[in-house]
Amino acid sequence: MATRFTLNGRAVSFDGDGAMPLLWYLRDHARLTGTKYGCGVGQCGACTVHVDGEAVRSCTTTVASIAGRAVRTIESLADGDTLHVVQQAWIEEDVPQCGYCQAGQIMAATALLERVAEPSESDIASITNLCRCGTYPRIRKAIRKAAALKRVSAEGAATALAGADETAAESAA
Amino acid sequence: MSAVLALDRRGFLKVALTAGGALLLGHDALATAEGAPANQLGPFLRIERDGTVVIGARGAEIGQGVMTSLPMLIAEELDVPWSRVRVEQLPLGLVATDAPPGVTWKYGPQGAGGSTSIPEAWKDLRVAGAEARRLLLLAAAAEWQADVAKLSTRDGTVVHPDGRTLAYGALVAKAAALPLPKDPPTLKDPKDFRIVGTRVRVADARDIVTGRARYGLDETLPGALVATVERCPYFDGELVSFDASEAKKVPGVRDVVVLPGPKAGEPYTQNLATGVAVLADDTWSALRGRRALKIEWSKGPHAAETSAALDAQADRLLAGSGHRARDDGDFDAARKSAARVVEATYRVPFVNHAPLEPQNACAHVEAERVTIVAPMQQPSGASRVAHAITGIDRMKIEVRMTRVGGGFGRRLSNDFVAEAVLLSKATGKPVKLVWTREDDMRHDWFRPYGTHQLVAALDAKGAVTGYAHRLASASKYYRRPDVKPEDQWTAEMYPDDFPARLVPNLRIEWFGIESGIARGSWRAPAHTANAFVVQSFIDEVAHAAKRDPLELRLAMLGEPRELEYAQHGGPVFDTGRLAAVLKLAAERIGWGRKPAARRGLGLACHFTFGGYAAHAVEVSVGEGGELRVERCVCAVDVGRPINPLGLEAQMMGGTIDGLSTALNLEITIDGGRVVQSNFGDYPLLRMAQAPDVEVVIVPSERDPAGAGEMGIPTLAPALCNAIFAACGVRIRRLPVRDQLREALRKA
């Protein structure tokens, strides 16, 4: 029986082995190689994706278990040429060295910022993704920067909305 | 006379040799090859119509930043704004020559090892950029019928004194057709640098953060089968029998093939161990098939080997006499007449490289050519091993270099390339070989284990008059085809390391431990172990002599001067430069102040492969032995910093690598096999445990050294010296792990 779910906004159906880890479905069958294999046992987080908005390690998540759910990978974060604020912050802070862990780090960070708009140091430290190159100090800076970028763009949006209300009120008067 | 050298025809190319014997790009090699695209200028540059300058990156990018820093050197001399540059990874480039071995570099050296990429590129890639700029000037001069000496360049254009300009893009075809002038071009005066020395971000960061960057594991070849190998876990064990019947029933599994390994004691020339390979349509099928194999292994000649047995072997050896690698003055006499003798024994464990991307390679062996796509540190070695296995002409072996998910010395070996080539040859199909994390943890060229005995003779004033460093280790030159057994010590001890020539009676002695485990180069080989031991011991000497650890080191380094240094990173070791980084780190951490209760400061300094580094660490130790790094300073002098942002990254990363390894990591042996299997029992440091690192870069105009390795060696001793200062517990065995908690519980 086929497993149906959505992947980066598209409906997909997979009739292979339901016990296959989602990681190998993504890499070998969907040909999305941004999600990485590092350990296969959920220890390193290089395989982190979002399932219904939550950060999940795809190497220990079977395809069968995500039936009916919404999966998002690193490839879906940017909106065309417009990078997500987390991706922008990662570049601004020059985070990557070898870069292999960074897609997973970004997916973990993005999920954190969806839950906690102003993460504390201990919120940030709750991310357990491994980085063998030791980029942790810059990851921390990038998460703080992304939170700030999000705040600025949210304030900008709120101001624009407030402005629109005032204009509407004036024209009504 | 044809103006363009045909690099794909046999012809003698002039190549320059560095003092270390590395081949650099010959000046003639900078000509544009026949048949190259019209906008190609020399081997490294394409200039697009819109002004984009595409620069070929020749190095193996393992996270040390060479994909950015090497093109920066070319862009600087070409005189284009960095914002116009797009970088592309070059494949392995070889050209045929008349001189043995019949091929040489097309792009210059492309490997990543020994922190050599920048010092080599400083010499030849600047010439490449300057030559291209000169040809563009000559082309403009011809176009304008002007005197080339009156022309200049700015922002990717050639400028005429009367204000007319010609964009590089408009000149490139003409420039590529010009004959190379016989003399080399002049290079920029460094005071005119606009790119070198500025903080430049990783060139392909956008690809990395969007998941578009391709690593070896992301690649495939058309029609490739995915292969995974169950390798014998016993050192030099053999395949007795196997049953693949269940494996072959797994949907998607196509073949099961024996992969022979080296015989016991034979030199390592290809792969590490015998295995049984499962080949399938996709990774999951291959892994399922592998799980269904039934295999019987013989335990081999090392079945009784354990970590405890190696410790015992080391202790027995150290009781005797070894190879004296250095014997200045008369150590025995100095010891006899000493006012005080300080002695300590240290143990440094095997560790795994653990790059986050496990080993992998794609290979396709055809009748007359081979294609290899892999993450490598020695692409020329991949070409050599493919030639050795297939007999196919090296010029018909294509080697494509991907971004590498961590090197650390692991990928200097091409055993995983050899495996993929062997499997493709055996099956006649393209093969995508993948290693699991368990494969990677159990099969590696591990950093050598060693037991170090240090002895210092002090006079009445507390000066060190005699010093001995005696090391029993499992040399990384074990079973290397090109190294004689009597030379195995040269991988483990560097006779000109501190404090050579600074102590009158100095002995360096080595003993070879026998072990069946494979060993190789791990980031800052030998220095990572020796600096821990020497800089911890100097601290012990300081405390015994009631001298300040900073003052003692500075006194031993003495007047700033250059001492001979014949090992890699020489030809000189500058005592003044080492003293300077040590003082800088000490100043930054506030050396001399009395820290709060249960806190301590520790220092260490070391010369690694041409770079000078020092760490100053402040730790706190809780009542129950909870260790916290409160502050961490790294001072570094690598000569002129090419990319300070990248240099900071290397020092920060090396610091955290050193910390992770010192705190938590060891590979142990039991029953002739590696015990550890994944990150659960080989726990790399996580973000919560990683301190911020303050990096201080010494400004310098000297020729640059590399930076990939010097951040590591001084962290462990600085950490352990700080621990001692905080709570009086001296760590003599790495990893630290539970030792602090146990020591304080007993106390």
The ipTM of this complex is 0.96
Q: How would you label B605-628 residue by residue, b for 16+ Cβ within 10 Å and e otherwise?
A: bbbbbbbbbbbbbbbbbeeebebe
> What residues of B are in contact with residue A109 (Cβ under 8 Å)?
none
pLDDT value at A158 more than 80:
no
Nearest CA in chain A to B202: A94
Give φ, ψ of B647 to 5 degrees. Answer: -65, -45
| Contact status of A162 with chain B (Cβ, < 8 Å) | no
Over 90: is that where the pLDDT of B29 sits?
no
Confidence at residue A167, expressed as pLDDT on a 0 to 100 scale: 47
Chain A contact set for B406 (CB, 8 A): 98, 100, 132-133
pLDDT at B21 over 60: no
Residues 306-345 of B with CB under 8 A from A: none
Whether B291 and chain A come into contact, CB under 8 Å, resolves to no
Distance between CA atoms of residues B616 and B486, nearest Å: 38
The per-residue pLDDT for B454 is 98
Which residue among A37, A74, A140 places its CB closest to the CB of B210? A74
Distance (Å, rounded) from C-alpha B628 to C-alpha B723? 10
What pLDDT score was predicted for residue A162?
66
CB-count exposure of residue B160 (10 Å: 0-12, 13-18, 19+) = middle
Question: Quick one: what percent of chain B has pLDDT higher than 70?
Answer: 97
- Out of A78, A98, A103, whose CB is closest to B63? A98
Chain A (62-91) residues lying within 8 Å, Cβ to Cβ, of chain B: 73-75, 77-78, 83, 87, 90-91
Beta bridge partners of A13: A4
Chain B neighbors of A32, CB-CB under 8 A:
211
With an 8 Å Cβ cutoff, are A99 and B404 in contact? no
Q: What is the pLDDT of residues A53-86, one digit of tens each?
A: 999 999 999 999 999 999 999 999 999 999 999 9
Residue type, B334: A
Q: How far is CA B291 from CA A61, B249, B419, B424, in A?
A: 19, 12, 20, 22
Q: What was the pLDDT predicted at A161? A: 66
Convert the pLDDT of each residue in B221-265 to its tens digit: 999 999 999 999 999 999 999 999 999 999 999 999 999 999 998
Residues of B in Cβ contact (< 8 Å) with A128: 686-688
Report pLDDT digits (tens) over B32-49.
988 899 999 999 999 998
Mean pLDDT over each residue of chain A, to the nearest integer: 93
Cβ distance of B209 and A100 shorter than 8 Å = no
- Which residues of A, range 104-143, sit inside 8 Å of B by Cβ? 106, 124-140
List the single residue in A20, A44, A96 with the smallest CB-CB distance to B208: A96
Residue type, B623: E
Give the model's pLDDT for residue A153: 83
How does DSSP classify residue B411?
A: G
The contacts of residue B625 (CB under 8 Å, 6+ apart) are: B738, B740, B741, B742, B743, B744, B745
* B408-428 exposure pattern, b = at least 16 Cβ within 10 A, e = fewer: bbbbbbbbbbbbbbbbbbbbe
Residue B16: per-residue pLDDT: 47
What's the pTM value of the predicted model, to 2 decimals?
Answer: 0.95
Cα B693 from Cα B390, distance rounded (Å): 48
pLDDT for B613-659, tens place per residue? 999 999 999 999 999 999 999 999 999 999 999 999 999 999 999 99
Query: Scanning every residue of chain B, which has its alpha carbon at the shortest distance from the alpha carbon of A82?
Result: B210
Place of tokens 């090497």: B70
| C-alpha span between A77 and B209 (Å, rounded) | 10
B388 touches chain A (CB under 8 A): no
| pLDDT for B1 | 25
Report the residue from B358, B406, B693 with minimal CB separation from A98: B406
Pairing of strands A3-7, A10-14: antiparallel
Asked if B615 reaches chain A (Cβ–Cβ under 8 Å), the answer is: no
The CA distance from B592 to the nearest CA of chain A, in Å, is 27
Are B133 and B83 spatial neighbours (Cβ–Cβ below 8 Å)? Answer: no
DSSP codes, A37-102: -S-SSSSS-TTEEEETTEEEEGGGSBTGGGTT-EEE-GGGTSBTTBPPHHHHHHHHTT--SS-TTH
What are the φ and ψ backbone dihedral angles of B630, each rounded to 5 degrees?
-85, -40
Partners of B96 in the β-ladder: B103
pLDDT at A94: 98
Any bridge partners for residue B360, and if so which? B434
Q: What is the pLDDT of residue A163?
A: 59
* Percent with pLDDT over 90 in chain B: 93
Q: Which of B63, B653, B691 sits opposite A99 (nearest CB)?
A: B63
Residue B27 pLDDT? 79
Residue-level length of chain B: 747
**Residue type present at position A70:** A
The 10s digit of each residue's pLDDT in B453-502 is 999 999 999 999 999 999 999 999 999 999 999 999 999 999 999 999 99
Angle, vertex CA A159, rays to CA A156 and CA A165, nearest 5: 145
DSSP H/E element including B627 = strand B627-637
Number of other residues whose CB lies within 10 A of the CB of residue B18? 14
Q: Is the pLDDT of residue B2 over 50?
A: no
Q: What mean pLDDT value characterizes chain B?
A: 95
pLDDT band, residue B101 (cuts 50/70/90): confident
Residue B157: CB atoms within 10 Å: 21
pLDDT of B8 above 50: no
Interface test with B, best of A28, A100, A105 (most B CBs within 10 A): A100
Q: Give the residue from A50, A44, A35 showing the smallest Cα distance to A111.
A: A50
pLDDT digits (tens, 9 = 90+) for B69-94: 999 999 999 999 999 999 999 999 99
* Confidence band for A1, pLDDT divided at 50, 70 and 90: confident
**Largest distance between two CA atoms of chain B:** 87
- Which secondary-structure segment (H or E) carries B470? strand B464-473
Minimal-distance CA residue of chain B relative to A22: B284
pLDDT tens for residues B530-585? 999 999 999 999 999 999 999 999 999 999 999 999 999 999 999 999 999 999 99
